[in-house]
Chains A and B, each alone.
Chain A
């Protein structure tokens, strides 16, 4: 964990409610895709945990959805604004698992942390397939970015306005993906359905309301197959067999 003062370089909407914020500052504490940062926002008591989309050359990319007071405030921040963040939080995805055809499944605002993961896996020469689920066509983001990395990308929308009509599990079934490991981040029902549908090993990133974000308050604890775990510290990424649905 490292406290860093970042400067916002860019903060713009990708869809009606999803924003991309690019910040300049020390990213050295961020060591794995799937980790998160905690932003200190003016007038709010607790920091806001936001997953890391990408980090390189002292540039941090965060993609967030406006869902409450904190994220609404973030959306109003102009370039040049300084932001205090705790960086390098959580354990992140294990990108050195022995596999050759990983499947990365993201749902809605669960898509961003898969970006740096996909990049790392592709850099290792792995054959990466992405399945991205959204409610409707206007909510789709980052498809081109994943394609530009060299991933095969399939999209599912709940209303069928683009790609496969239905959920990510439908898109996986229709596309006939032959994967040997999976990584996922998204809403809990999606993660549960996916874990049930796939008989390969994998890991998923969970979300929970947090107090501190660095393991001292026990605000975000969950029960797992190997006892109580903190989503902020042992997580947010867990192996699928750890999760007690």
Chain B
């Protein structure tokens, strides 16, 4: 039997639910030399800000048990260069819907970037990152209170007709209240979770491993937290959820979708295994057969 892997996000049809997470796939260029990236459902491209950013000092990376910490700090060439340089190159290699990922340090910055990206035809979803833990006075600051998350949502919705997904931070007391606030403010969907704020210390040198001291913890270790939060949010909201956080296998994809995700993003696993998304997509039909799943979309939120 042919297994149906397709899924839908706010009317955007995806051949399968597997999407590389923002920041773990660049703008697709490097990975297009590793395998045919058109097998992917979509790509969430590198987080983009209004101005070009170099990001944080190095070391930006720390190894952890079953995961890693990054403190890249939103390094990107800026929205204008993304539109003039990165997206045209990606378009030559990738013929599926693209998810643009937007970050900012003020509501004006978020709206300016979203307004600019709105005219990019192949960008079918805008993902608004209010959860980057690696920059000060921006990013996560907007995603840790229901009021500011709603304010960003409302502002960007006013400047684009494309579906807006708000990418939420797990570093909060009550993710459901923030998710609901975004939904009430007009969000079309939610992506969760971004990285968890973490820290490692070099005990020989008696100093933090990361130059910026703290960073975002991701990888397999955070998967149970992500499943829990996706489950809570999907049950509390009626807009679609992209599940993200520690996904590494086809089993993880099915588990995340059963928790309520309409699609998934694979992040840190791409850094240790560049073929991770490809292997997951190839494995999914076999796993569906074993589990008796005909259409992947049938299992979305099946666990109550």
Contacts and interface: CB of A to CB of B under 8 A. Distances in A.
Interface of A: 1, 3, 40, 44-47, 69-70, 86, 208-212, 214-223, 228, 233
Contact of B55 (A46, A70, A209, A221): A221
A208 to B, nearest CB: 6
A182 B100 CA distance: 44
Interface of A, helix, strand, loop or mixed by DSSP: loop
Given A1-B33, A46-B272, A221 B26 contact: no
Most-contacted residue by chain B among A44, A212, A228 (CB, 10 A): A212
A228 B63 CA distance: 24
B173 interface: no
A159 B80 CA distance: 54
Size band of the interface chain B makes with A = 20 to 34
Nearest to B65: A45
Contact of A209 (B26, B30, B58, B273): B58
B270 A219 contact: no
B63 A212 contact: no
B236 interface: no
Contacts of A3: 274-275
A40 B269 CA distance: 13
Interface in B241-295: 268, 270-275
Nearest to B271: A212
A1 B66 CA distance: 24
A217 B272 CA distance: 11
Given A45-B64, A208-B58, A216 B30 contact: yes
B60 A220 contact: yes
B34 interface: yes
B58 A221 contact: yes
A236 B60 CA distance: 17
A214 B274 contact: yes
Interface stretch (B67-75, B147-155, B189-197): B67-75
Contact of A215 (B30, B58, B59): B30
Nearest to B268: A45
Contacts of B31: 216
6 contacts: A216-B271, A218-B26, A218-B60, A221-B55, A222-B58, A228-B54
B274 A212 contact: yes
A211 B75 contact: no
Contacts of B25: 216
B54 to A, nearest CB: 5
A210 B64 CA distance: 14
Ordered nearest first, which 4 A-B pairs have the shortest CB separation? Answer: A212-B271, A209-B59, A219-B61, A215-B30
Contact of B67 (A45, A210, A228): A45
Contacts of A218: 23, 26, 46, 55, 60, 72, 75
Contacts of A215: 26, 30
B186 interface: no
B139 to A, nearest CB: 15
A141 to B, nearest CB: 24
Contacts of A228: 54, 75
A145 B23 CA distance: 43
Contact of A211 (B54, B61, B273, B275): B61
B219 interface: yes
B30 A214 contact: yes
Nearest to B27: A216
Given A216-B24, A220-B60, A1 B70 contact: no
Contacts of B59: 208-209
Given A1-B33, A46-B61, A218-B75, A40 B24 contact: no
A37 to B, nearest CB: 13
A139 B26 CA distance: 40
